[in-house]
Amino acid sequence: MESQGEPQGGITVRRALELPALRSGLPEVVVGADRLQRTVRWVHAGEVPHIASLLKGGELLLTTGLGLGSRPAEQRAFVRRLAERGIAALVVELGPRLGRLPAAIVDSARAAGLPLVQLHREVPFVSVTEEIHTEIVNGHYTLLRRAEDVHRRCTRELLGGGGIPRVLGILAEFTGNPVFLESAEGRLLYAAGPGPGGDGGADPLQVWEGLRGQRSVRESPPAGTVLVPVPGGGGGASDRAVLVLSAVTAPPLPVHRMAAERAAGLLAVVLMQARQEEELAARGRGDFLTDLAEDRVAAGDAPAQARVLGFRPGDGPLLPVVMRLDAPPGAWPALAHAVQEELSGVGVPALLGVRPVEGRVPLLLGLRSAAERATVADRVATALRTGAERAGLDRPVVVIGIPGGWERMPAALRHAADTATAARGLPDRPWYDARRLDTELLLWRLRDHPDLAAFVDRALGPLRDHDATARPPLLPTLESYLTHAGRKAETARELHLNRQTLYNRLARISELVGADLDDPQVVLTLSLALRARRHVG
């Protein structure tokens, strides 16, 4: 975290007095010894009465007193105008013009709170100016270097696939305060805190909610908050988002703004790649749901964080849902937008996220009671599949998980996500019940174990070898027969076979596997092998 006591973009009056050029003049602080931490932005030497009109504020003014005036009223006005300009300090060199400081100068400086320094020995003002300016320029260079270091870290994270959350995390660590990315409409896209090691260890989502009240931070920034626009695409597009540097522990310093401005350029590239804020917001919610599933969010903290993301489910059970599909990178913005629109008509509270890396869309739904699970599942599955179709994507797998409270959601979300992956390749259905696919999930989790491949080979190897060289293939017949629980009439009807032809095929299958298809253990073995074949093949 950057030191809060260092001046940013200048040096202090105290540091200026310690430099050799001014120190050789035997400086004495007459007024304002408690204000020597003021920042010196520049040095100016002048001997004219109207010198204040030439200054901008933050200067260390050097003078021999020629412009002070001879009357007390002129001297008081001279000091008052300098104080109003906001100069850092007034340094008067004693000598032939002034043997001592007039009382009117001292009293006016004290009344205005302006540091007043007298030099007891003559010094070349050009040496003072050169020395202090060199120090200031070196300080600026140090600030730029620190900001550039942060920029390099952010760039490395993005190139390494870290994404927006890691960039915000680096900024939060550097500033020691929570950092937010807000959309142009005032919606929170991402939030990051300085971490447990920082002084600003409060939950960033709760901090943001407290800062914004009923309005966006962008419209009504609290005192000390720094806003850094993140530009949109080319062609004069307006800002797509804004970086918000909060002031929880202390107001952000200029070096923090520098670092944020450099990071904003990187974030602009990410925003242009994402192309739509719906996807950004959905990615943020997807990150939250993934963090919840992977126990990176405590169940006790999850309801408050979900409220900040717009999810207010009520007191009923939660229902986890996961849609799994293959989508090219450019399809995710359209998918997020279409699915969000379709879900708006379902009539239940929904928190929708997207996870392009894993190719899935996780959701949490708020039910009134567990009894409406099947009805809500039908409506939600229809909305998800319609949204995918609108985005030009086919055959998504929708898995409805196990309802429960917040404390059960991490395991329920993981179960639904894994089941959605395991269900790929099953016969297409509007949705799958995660509770009925545990065998499929177990086989999927064992997919890389050599014993599973050996099991499939022992059970189905003879049929596979037959189908490689002979017709008709027998594996589809066996699969249909087992799907219909051994009911021959239904099997024949599905395969468009007469009964005798089916009987002949079943006899040949029994001969090849060396077992009776009426034996329940044989049926169980062949059923498991057919399911496992999808995962090891």
Each residue of 416-462: pLDDT tens digit?
Answer: 999 999 998 888 899 999 999 999 999 998 988 999 999 999 999 99
Backbone angles phi, psi at 352, to 5 degrees: -105, 130
Backbone angles phi, psi at 60, to 5 degrees: -100, 110
What CA–CA distance (Å, rounded) separates 226 from 240?
17
127 and 45 together in one domain: yes
Is the per-residue pLDDT at 236 higher than 60?
Answer: no
Each residue of 493-523: pLDDT tens digit?
Answer: 999 999 999 999 999 999 999 999 999 999 9
What average pLDDT does the chain have? 87
Structural domain of 399: 282-410
pLDDT at 201: 56
Contact indicator for 117, 17 with CB cutoff of 8 Å: yes
Tell me, what DSSP letter sits at residue 66?
Answer: T
Each residue of 36-50: pLDDT tens digit?
Answer: 989 888 899 988 889
Question: Would residue 470 count as lying in a domain?
Answer: yes
87 and 106 together in one domain: yes
296 and 270 together in one domain: no
Mean pLDDT confidence for 280-309: 90
Each residue of 47-92: pLDDT tens digit?
Answer: 888 999 888 888 999 999 888 888 999 999 999 999 999 999 999 9
289 and 270 together in one domain: no
Amino acid code (one letter) for 487 = R
Contact indicator for 49, 67 with CB cutoff of 8 Å: yes
Mean pLDDT confidence for 120-140: 87
295 and 181 together in one domain: no
Is the per-residue pLDDT at 119 higher than 50?
Answer: yes
Is the per-residue pLDDT at 234 higher than 80?
Answer: no
pLDDT at 190: 84
- Maximum distance among all alpha carbons in the chain? 128
Percent of the residues in the chain that have a pLDDT greater than 70, as a whole number: 91
Domains of the chain: total:
4
Mean pLDDT confidence for 97-109: 91
342 and 269 together in one domain: no
- Which CATH number is 294's domain given? 3.30.70.100
Mean pLDDT confidence for 246-252: 83
Give the 3-state secondary structure of residue 45: strand
Contact indicator for 441, 344 with CB cutoff of 8 Å: no
Is the per-residue pLDDT at 198 higher than 80?
Answer: no
37 and 56 together in one domain: yes
Bridge pairing between strands 226-230 and 241-245: antiparallel
- Which CATH number is 488's domain given? 1.10.10.2840
Of 81, 114, 133, which marks where a domain is finished?
133
122 and 171 together in one domain: no
Is the per-residue pLDDT at 216 higher than 70?
Answer: no
Give the 3-state secondary structure of residue 335: helix
Question: Would residue 227 count as lying in a domain?
Answer: yes
Three-state secondary structure along 282-312?
A: HHHHHHHHHHHHCCCCCCCCHHHHHHHCCCC
Mean pLDDT confidence for 259-265: 89
201 and 166 together in one domain: yes
Is the per-residue pLDDT at 250 higher than 60?
Answer: yes
513 and 402 together in one domain: no
How many alpha carbons lie under 13 Å from residue 467 in its C-beta half-sphere? 13
32 and 127 together in one domain: yes
297 and 398 together in one domain: yes
Backbone angles phi, psi at 117, to 5 degrees: -125, 135
Which residues have CB under 8 Å from 403's CB, separation 6+?
Answer: 317, 318, 319, 320, 367, 370, 373, 412
Question: Would residue 149 count as lying in a domain?
Answer: no
Give the 3-state secondary structure of residue 359: coil
